[in-house]
Structure 1
Amino acid sequence: MIPFVPRRPEQILPYAALVEWTSAHALWQGQATLIEPHQGFVYAAGAGFRVPTGLGVTLMPMRHPYEAALQVRSLAMTTGEPVVAGFGPGPVVFQESLLGERYPSQLGAIREYVTAVRGLLDGGVVDIRGEYVQCKGMLPPAVAPKIEIGLGVLRKGMARLAGEIADVAITWLTPVDYLAGTVVPGLREGAEKAGRPAPRLAAMVPIALARPDRTPVEQAMASNALHLQAPHYIDMLQKAGLDVTGKDPAADAKAVVAGGAFLSGDLDQLVAALKEYEQAGADEIILNLTGVFNLQGQKETMNELKSLLGALVGGTFN
Structure 2
Amino acid sequence: MTTGVALSATDTVNQIDATVQLAREAAAAGLTSAWFGQTFGPDSPQLAAIVGREVPGLHVGTSAIPVFGRHPLLVSSQALTAQAATHGRYHLGLALGTKLLTETGFGIPYERPIARLREFLTALRQLTETGSADFHGELLTATTPIPARVPGAEDGVPLLVAAMGPQALRVSGELADGILPYLAGPRALGEHIVPALTAAAEAAGRPAPRVVALVYGVVTDDADAVREEAAGQLAFYEQFPSYARAIELSGARRAVDVAVIGTEREVAAEVQRYRDAGATEVVFSGTEIAGDDDRRRTWALLGELATTKG
TM-score, length-scaled by structure 1: 0.85
Choose 205-214 or 184-193, whichever is displaced more: 205-214
Q: Contact (CA 8 Å) 1:17, 1:49: kept in 2 or not? A: no
Report the Cα distance in structure 2 between the residues aligned to 1:124 and 1:179, rounded to whole angstroms: 34
Report the Cα distance in structure 1 between the residues aligned to 2:159 and 2:131, rounded to whole angstroms: 16
- The equivalent of 1:36 in structure 2 is 43
The DSSP-based 3-state class of the residue aligned with 1:186 is: helix
Report the Cα distance in structure 1 between the residues aligned to 2:9 and 2:164, rounded to whole angstroms: 22
The C-alpha deviation readout for 1:74-123, integer Å capped at 9, x for no partner, is 011112232211101200122323252112x2211101001111100111
- The equivalent of 2:134 in structure 1 is 127
- The equivalent of 1:271 in structure 2 is 268
Report the Cα distance in structure 1 between the residues aligned to 2:242 and 2:276, rounded to whole angstroms: 26
Which of these residues, 23, 43, 60, is aligned with residue 30 of structure 2?
23
The DSSP-based 3-state class of the residue aligned with 2:63 is: strand
Deviation at 1:240, TM superposition (A): 3.7
Which of these residues, 21, 27, 38, is aligned with residue 14 of structure 1?
21
List aligned pairs for 1:201-212, cutoff 5 A: 201-212=211-222
- The equivalent of 2:110 in structure 1 is 102
Report the Cα distance in structure 2 between the residues aligned to 1:157 and 1:39, rounded to whole angstroms: 30
- The equivalent of 1:56 in structure 2 is 63
The DSSP-based 3-state class of the residue aligned with 1:202 is: strand
Which of these residues, 293, 314, 318, is aligned with residue 288 of structure 2?
293
The C-alpha deviation readout for 1:42-87, integer Å capped at 9, x for no partner, is 3334545562111111111232100100101101111223221110
Does structure 1 residue 175 correspond to structure 2 residue 185? Answer: yes
Q: How has the CA–CA distance of structure 1 residues 80 and 222 changed in structure 2, closer, same or farther, with 3 Å as cutoff?
A: farther
The DSSP-based 3-state class of the residue aligned with 1:208 is: strand
Q: How has the CA–CA distance of structure 1 residues 175 and 151 changed in structure 2, closer, same or farther, with 3 Å as cutoff?
A: same
Report the Cα distance in structure 1 between the residues aligned to 2:271 and 2:194, rounded to whole angstroms: 16
Q: Which runs of 5+ in 1 are unaligned?
A: 244-251
Deviation at 1:133, TM superposition (A): 0.9
Aligned residues: 299
Q: Alignment RMSD, CA only?
A: 2.3
Report the Cα distance in structure 2 between the residues aligned to 1:48 and 1:18, rounded to whole angstroms: 10
Report the Cα distance in structure 1 between the residues aligned to 2:223 and 2:209, rounded to whole angstroms: 40
Q: How has the CA–CA distance of structure 1 residues 38 and 269 changed in structure 2, closer, same or farther, with 3 Å as cutoff?
A: same
Q: How has the CA–CA distance of structure 1 residues 238 and 69 changed in structure 2, closer, same or farther, with 3 Å as cutoff?
A: same
Relative contact order: is structure 1 or structure 2 higher (C-alpha 8 Å, sep ≥ 6)? 2
Report the Cα distance in structure 1 between the residues aligned to 2:231 and 2:150, rounded to whole angstroms: 46
Deviation at 1:173, TM superposition (A): 0.6
Q: Contact (CA 8 Å) 1:116, 1:135: kept in 2 or not? A: yes
Letter in 2 for 1:218: E
Q: Contact (CA 8 Å) 1:57, 1:152: kept in 2 or not? A: yes
Q: How high is the sequence identity, in percent, across the aligned residues? A: 22
Letter in 2 for 1:208: V
Report the Cα distance in structure 2 between the residues aligned to 1:36 and 1:148, rounded to whole angstroms: 18
Which of these residues, 182, 199, 207, is aligned with residue 209 of structure 2?
199
List aligned pairs for 1:146-225, cutoff 5 A: 147-212=157-222, 214-215=224-225, 217-225=227-235
Deviation at 1:169, TM superposition (A): 0.9
Letter in 1 for 2:274: Y
Q: How has the CA–CA distance of structure 1 residues 194 and 99 changed in structure 2, closer, same or farther, with 3 Å as cutoff?
A: farther
